[in-house]
A and B are shown apart, each in its own frame.
Chain A
Amino acid sequence: MLVLTRKSGERIQIGDEVVLEILEVRQGQVRLGIDAPGHVRIYREEIARQIREENRRAAASEPAALGALATRLRSRAGG
């Protein structure tokens, strides 16, 4: 991993299109500003991990366990 030390207000350019700016550093938190074109996907790393974990749980869901929900939805649609 490349490690750089930066101060508040300084920037890092990644490739031709992405610029990170250190906006504020205080009390163990860093605020970052990110300039990137729309085709670059940006999100917090933990959300990606949570989605992977939720998908694994979803894959373990047995169809029969969804019968009650399906019945409720059908009775709503029919009524």
Chain B
Amino acid sequence: MPATLESRRFGSVEVVEEATLLFAEGLPGFEELREFLLLSPPELAPVQFLVSLMVPDISFPVLPASLCLPGYAPQLGEADLDQLHLVAASEATLYAILTFHHEQEEVTANLRAPLAINIAARLGRQVTLADSTYSLRHPLCGVGEEARE
């Protein structure tokens, strides 16, 4: 594992092993990418980025899922928990992948297929929830707006 990676978006980034995650099956559409760095640029906090170690130019913006939808606590399948070496869904740390839509200048969060992470074991998996009430494009336009004038 390199001590630093060079990324088009983030420049030269130090790879802290504790911040690396293994997605044993990659992400849908990016199955060949297994190892990621969870990067936390201070200027964009609390938004973080999952940066591929194999192809550092590929990265995904992510946000803790509870910031996208307060109280978000979906059921996870037995197969998903097993793969993450977890017993209960409450042990998983959930992140949502964000998408910026240029046309509407809007950001949405994928709450239908969140990233479930076993922080201690540094294992992750993008799970497909059986519960279809959660949206693949959950709008974030209202998130945080109460703080504005």
Complex CA–CA separation, A52 to B29 (angstroms):
5
Q: Contact check, B148 vs A75: say whether CB atoms are below 8 A apart.
A: yes
Residue of B nearest to A39 (CB): B79
Does A24 sit at the interface, judged by CB under 8 A?
Answer: no
Q: Does A70 lie at the interface of the complex (its beta carbon under 8 Å from any beta carbon of B)?
A: yes
B75 to chain A minimum Cβ distance, whole angstroms, is 11
Contact A59 B143 (CB under 8 A): no
* B120 at the binding interface (Cβ < 8 Å): no
How big is chain A's contact interface, by range? 20 to 34
Interface residues on B, range: 35 or more
CA distance A40 to B83 in the complex (A): 12
- Contact among A41, A63, A76 with B144 in the assembled complex (CB-CB below 8 Å): A76
- Contact status of A61 and B61, CB under 8 A, knowing A39-B78, A51-B126, A55-B97: yes
Cβ of B12 < 8 Å from any Cβ of A?
no
Binding site for A on B (CB under 8 A): 9-10, 27-30, 41, 43-47, 49, 58-61, 63, 67, 77-80, 82, 97-102, 107, 110, 112-113, 126, 128, 130, 132, 136-137, 140, 143-148
